[in-house]
Amino acid sequence: MRVGEKIRTEMVLASALTLVAEGVVVYFIVTLLGLPLFAVFLFLALLWVIQWIAGPYFISRRCREVDPSDPEYGWLHGMVEELASGARMGKPRIYVSNDPFPNAFAFGNSLRRGIAFTKPILEILTQEELKAVAGHELGHLKHHDVEAGIAFGLLPLVLNWIGSAMASLGILWMTAASDEVGILLGMASLAIGWMVTIVALAVNIFVLWFNRLRESLADLHAIKLLGNNGYFLATALAKLQLYMRNVKVDPIRGVVLTVPPAKIRASRPEELLREWKETKISPLADVLSTHPHPAKRVKMILEAINYG
């Protein structure tokens, strides 16, 4: 089976299992609390619309939109426009972010779509590598991954909010309690918060699986646009990993990184690519990650290029 067909088949399975898991949780909540099913779906739909509308606004506030005449970054427009033309889609807006990590990300809705590059990624990658990364981000926009990500991630997000609130309330209740009843109520609230958080994590495992497949499909989109030059996506991943190996990331910020910090032996991109090609990665190595393990991505990229 060709690489693209395999990924699409897995995406169908992942999306189906995610919907089943989320449906079971919603049914349990509706049954336990006696809530109208219509009201729950209406709430989730409203939350999706709010994120769909407000998300691009809040994300773009962290970035600076680049004008084609910009003396430093204006060339990004020509690069992205060429790729967008090849993908038969409109050119998104271009942004530069001051985030301290080398990263690129697509965001927006049908009214306002954009691709943002952080300054570190613009400094460490060649133009060929940046072009491959841009092709990947365009894949996210073309496949409407932003909208899909919001939809599949809604329920775990809400459950995490509820779980955190219940756990915090429980701790506060126990701290302020003046009798055994108050302590028991606090313990009950804390226990419920933990259980809800565990359920959110269980559902999120399916969501993360679907997200990793979307990342792989975006990689294939870059290869489709660039052909054998899609190899530069692999060298870009190696450079990002080398940059991130000594970087400390605050987990509380919830930063989504293309390549998270990791201990590696290699000191040059070519060495790291050889290491990844020869290393057997556990299927569970990235089960809690938004992106596939970079070694898996590199192997898939090379396999896709060989299929030509």
Q: Which residues does the annotation mark as catalytic?
A: 137
Q: Is the dihedral of CA 68, 71, 73, 78 positive or negative?
A: positive
Nearest to 4, CA basis, from 171, 155, 143: 143
User: What is the C-alpha separation between 218 and 241, in angstroms, rounded?
Assistant: 19
Strands 63-65 and 93-97, sheet pairing: antiparallel
Which amino acid, 158? V
Bridge partners for 97 per DSSP: 63, 118
Q: Which residue matches tokens 């999120």?
A: 204
Amino acid, res. 302: L
